[in-house]
Amino acid sequence: MELITPRLRIREFIESDYQALRDMDSRTEFNTYEREYASEAETRGSLDESISTQLKIPRTVYRLAITIPPVDTVKGVIKISRQQEKIREWEVGWAVHPDEWNKGFATEAAWSVIDWAFREFNLHRVVAFCHADNAASVRVMEKLGMRCDGRLRETRWLNGAWWDECVYAVLEREWRENKNLTGHEHQ
């Protein structure tokens, strides 16, 4: 599976991506809203899982590398996976290397993956969750045309405290309408 956007290449993970992933995971600011610290074992585990899901049939998890051509180094991760089969709902999530923040890369990668998933799997909804204080992630959801479905109270335990989570979603018809309105094939 590979997607090419105006500035990015989204591709499958390979074994040799470990060090690039580790460079992201070991940055403090990368983990603020997600976890206290990512150990080397966790980085290895997430890479192994990303690779093993490539072989699952049917495949319901796509955890993909974001690269910035012509360089092939991983500069982000985009994941889309089946959440609720009966209502054709999939969940999307994203992360970008701190050196590349605020350049629109998360939005560009997510736009392309969501658009692909709507077409490929005939989805009804795409949903995303984030720590309620993660303003950059909320902004990405808004730029994608996702709408706030609500706020889950104290569903995350992090740094010795409970935190709320935001849930955003976009319906297939909304996605189509937004695409028609902007006339863009790419965000």
Ligand X SMILES: CC(C)(COP(=O)(O)OP(=O)(O)OC[C@H]1O[C@@H](n2cnc3c(N)ncnc32)[C@H](O)[C@@H]1OP(=O)(O)O)[C@@H](O)C(=O)NCCC(=O)NCCS
Which residues contact ligand X by CB under 6 A?
A: 30, 33-34, 93-96, 101-107, 130, 134-137, 139-140
Neighbours of 136 (CB within 10 A): 13
- What distance in Å separates the CA atoms of residue 46 and residue 21, rounded to the nearest whole number? 9
Helix (H) / strand (E) element for 65: namely strand 61-67
Nearer CB in complex with ligand X: 3/57 = 3
Nearer CB in complex with ligand X: 4/135 = 135
Q: How far is the CB of 55 from ligand X (least distance, A)?
A: 26
Q: How far is the CB of 118 from ligand X (least distance, A)?
A: 19
Neighbours of 84 (CB within 10 A): 12
Nearer CB in complex with ligand X: 123/146 = 146
Nearer CB in complex with ligand X: 43/134 = 134
Cis peptide before 58 (omega within 30 of 0): yes
Nearer CB in complex with ligand X: 45/173 = 45
- 3-state SS, residue 167: strand
Q: How far is the CB of 133 from ligand X (least distance, A)?
A: 9
Closest to 96 measured CA to CA, from 82, 110, 83: 110
- What distance in Å separates the CA atoms of residue 27 and residue 76, rounded to the nearest whole number? 13
Q: How far is the CB of 122 from ligand X (least distance, A)?
A: 25
Look up residue 48 and give its amino acid. D
Q: How far is the CB of 112 from ligand X (least distance, A)?
A: 12
